[in-house]
Amino acid sequence: MDQLSHQVENFTAWKQAIAREIARYRSWLNNQGLNNQEVDERLSASLKSLRADRILLAFVGEFSRGKSEMINAILGRHYGQRLLPTRIGRATMCPTELFYDSTATGAYIKLLPIQTRASNQSIQGWKEQLEHWVHLTINLDDQQAMKKAFTEVAQTREVTTEEAAELGFDVQYLEPSLGKSGHVHIPAWRHAMINIDHPLLRQGLAIIDTPGLNALGAEPELTLSLLPEAQALVFMLSADTGVTASDFAIWNNHVSEIAQRRGAAVYAVLNKIDLLWDEDEEPEVAEEAVLRLARLTAKQLHLAPEHVLALSAKQGYKARLSNDRELLKRSRLETLEAALARSVVNAKEGALKRSLLRELADMVEASRQAVLAQRVRLEAEERVQASGHRDTEHELVLLTRATQQEQNAYAKRLAFLQQSRRILEQQLPRLVGTVSPAHFEGYLKRARVQMEDGKLGMGMPAAVTAFFLGLKTDFGRFRQEVETTQLLIQKLYDRYATETGAAAPPMPRHDASQYQLDLDELENRAAPFKNRLGSLMGSQQKLGERFFETVAREAGEVHARARADAERWCKQALAPLMQQTLEAKKRLEQQMAKLNNLRNFGENRFEKAGSIKEQREALREQQTLLEDILGRLKDPALGAPQAA
């Protein structure tokens, strides 16, 4: 098994192990009567994050750089043949996504007709209207049928140069028709989605293959939305040409901003090193030539040297198909797979550990501390039982008094929680109101009017700038309101500790800065398009409108996510206190049961001691269970839990 497959498989197993521990903790809460709506919603959100998480690899570059062959080298061995068509010239004619759809009854290809570019509808919007896509089923057991189905992705159609320009193509880069004057070849499809059952894809890996500068320039959504989602971006170059002018255009306009992001995994691949292999030349000479080219490429693209890799996808594919270890080593395909496995999977795992696991560990630790406190109380009572110096009447008085105190404390907790919930309910509209849909729609409407009024001038750049400025104002107010809400919640937790005498658990916090950072990144990605489009004239008008609608949709998602996350945080802010209150209720019920036992003189001291011992043993088992869950959350590699 190659390193990429191994790491993706391990990552999937790691997520499954975390999901198991969440299920064990939820089961324990239910068995102890300690679950409630707020706690259960937090656990459900954690499970949803684990299930929805995927690893996206994007392959970007000019045509004939070997992107499709690279994907074939990674995926093709499983089927014993190439998946994506490869030929001299343009093989992939439209952006192509490969993934595994667990809801589908079989493999398929969905193709979006190129004519849909005539509308402003985004690709994401068309994905919600699948009736407009051409649907092809794939028989994975028939190699010839598979080959024919995948070849459909590369189909073209002939149109006039005017039609091509209207659809957003730069005509100078299109192949002219040999049979019709004034006609050119354009892709038949705008976008392709391919669902196949492949071990890597089944584990959550998804891949996108892009067809070159013409598609990237005409589909703002790729640069603004799809590529930035990728955990790793592979920029394909050809070792026999180095970085050409069109390569630089793709890098500067579509990739460099992503490469500059902190933690971004961007690799430049000098493909086709087999073209430099010469039987009459010493291998060391060819090796030195490749190293010089790699160093130059790293300097040209401002990348770290270890992020520029030289290899041969074609020879790697052949080696995989024929199980030729020597050829595989010479192709250097495994160097890229190892780099992707290291940077991508580890980064995804690290991100989940920093967010999701920290919150889960806090919840389980609070429960463990509560169980431990119950054990301490029972052990103290057991020591009194064992001493033989027991005054039942005196104990009855003390226990009655303690139960009344516990009842009063529980009533205080409930009253405090009800009052605190009302306070936060009053704060919630002020919090989410700073990023209300009405605000966003207002900025959007003004930008569209400004674009329409300024078509002959610089309406587009000015409108986009004003649009982002409005959103930044919203997020500035939002950040201030989050800080105000955080202070309010902190005061409630402090009051809770003072009024109940209990140590307050860790309070959930919210980072409001992430949305401003997301918006800044979007604005940076949009800048090259904004400046290049300028005034909306002729065929550029449709492209400009599509660009703005993409920007608006992406910004709208950030705006809506900020609102939804803040609302969820505010509503669940008291969940740790509620969980502690449920534990107090359980203690009260145990106190009342103990009081009833004391009043029943039919039991003797030995029966009572036995009852305490059983309770203490049950608590010891619960503590062991919670400590085991906590340990596995911190280190899921411990393996599956033993059956009880």
How does pLDDT run across 426-480, given as a tens digit for each residue?
A: 999 999 999 999 999 999 999 988 887 765 456 778 889 999 999 999 999 999 9
Residue 197 located in a structural domain? yes
Q: Quote the pTM value.
A: 0.77
| Residues 183 and 268 placed together within one structural domain of the fold | yes
| Residues 172 and 293 placed together within one structural domain of the fold | yes
The secondary element (H helix, E strand) that includes residue 55 is strand 55-60
Residue 623 located in a structural domain? no
DSSP 539-604: THHHHHHHHHHHHHHHHHHHHHHHHHHHHHHHHHTTHHHHHHHHHHHHHHHHHHHHHHHHH-TTS-
| Residues 183 and 258 placed together within one structural domain of the fold | yes
Judge whether residue 162 has pLDDT over 80: yes
Helix orientation angle between 575-599 and 392-433, rounded to the nearest 10 degrees: 160
Residue 350 located in a structural domain? no
Q: What is the pLDDT of residues 86-130, one digit of tens each?
A: 765 555 578 999 999 989 999 999 999 999 988 878 888 899 999
Pairing of strands 108-113, 189-195: antiparallel
Residue 10 located in a structural domain? no
Mean pLDDT over residues 213-217, rounded? 69
- Report how many domains make up the chain: 2
Share of the chain above pLDDT 90, in %: 36
- Name the residue with higher pLDDT: 252 or 398: 252
Confidence at residue 394, expressed as pLDDT on a 0 to 100 scale: 61
Judge whether residue 260 has pLDDT over 50: yes
b or e along 585-614 (b: 16 or more beta carbons within 10 Å of the residue's beta carbon)?
A: bebbebbeebbeebeeeeeeeeebeeebee
* Dist CA 156 CA 186 (whole Å): 5
Residue 313 located in a structural domain? yes
Question: In which domain, by residue range, is 205 found?
Answer: 54-331
Confidence at residue 49, expressed as pLDDT on a 0 to 100 scale: 80
Q: What is the pLDDT of residues 304-363, one digit of tens each?
A: 999 999 999 999 999 999 999 999 999 999 999 989 888 877 777 777 777 788 888 888
| Residues 120 and 255 placed together within one structural domain of the fold | yes
Judge whether residue 592 has pLDDT over 80: no
Taking a C-beta distance cutoff of 8 angstroms, is the pair 590, 370 a contact? no
Confidence at residue 295, expressed as pLDDT on a 0 to 100 scale: 94
Confidence at residue 643, expressed as pLDDT on a 0 to 100 scale: 43
Residue 269 located in a structural domain? yes
Confidence at residue 479, expressed as pLDDT on a 0 to 100 scale: 96
| Residues 407 and 313 placed together within one structural domain of the fold | no
Largest CA distance in the chain: 110
| Residues 239 and 107 placed together within one structural domain of the fold | yes
Confidence at residue 422, expressed as pLDDT on a 0 to 100 scale: 94
Confidence at residue 1, expressed as pLDDT on a 0 to 100 scale: 53
Residue 110 located in a structural domain? yes
Confidence at residue 311, expressed as pLDDT on a 0 to 100 scale: 95
Domain final position from 567, 583, 599: 599
Amino acid of residue 206: A
The SS3 assignment for 520 reads: helix
Tokens linked to 457: 């001038």
Confidence at residue 40, expressed as pLDDT on a 0 to 100 scale: 86
Domain final position from 331, 346, 372: 331
| Residues 187 and 93 placed together within one structural domain of the fold | yes
pLDDT band, residue 536 (cuts 50/70/90): very low
| Residues 293 and 401 placed together within one structural domain of the fold | no
Strand partners, 242: 238
| Residues 444 and 318 placed together within one structural domain of the fold | no
Domain final position from 599, 616, 639: 599
Pairing of strands 189-195, 55-60: unpaired
| Residues 288 and 404 placed together within one structural domain of the fold | no
Judge whether residue 78 has pLDDT over 60: yes
What CATH number does the domain containing 71 carry? Answer: 3.40.50.300
Q: What is the CA radius of gyration of the chain?
A: 31
Mean pLDDT over residues 622-640, rounded? 80
| Residues 194 and 314 placed together within one structural domain of the fold | yes
Q: What is the pLDDT of residues 39-57, one digit of tens each?
A: 888 888 888 888 777 788 9
Q: What is the pLDDT of residues 220-229, one digit of tens each?
A: 888 888 888 8
| Residues 508 and 588 placed together within one structural domain of the fold | yes
Judge whether residue 387 has pLDDT over 70: no
Residue 80 located in a structural domain? yes
Judge whether residue 640 has pLDDT over 80: no
Tokens linked to 327: 């050829």
Select from 474, 457, 455, 445 the least CA-distant residue to 552. 445
Judge whether residue 161 has pLDDT over 50: yes
- Quote the mean pLDDT of the chain: 84
* Dist CA 368 CA 626 (whole Å): 6
Judge whether residue 418 has pLDDT over 80: yes
- The C-alpha torsion from 283 through 285 and 291 to 293, rounded to 10°, is -120
Mean pLDDT over residues 183-201, rounded? 92
Judge whether residue 524 has pLDDT over 70: yes
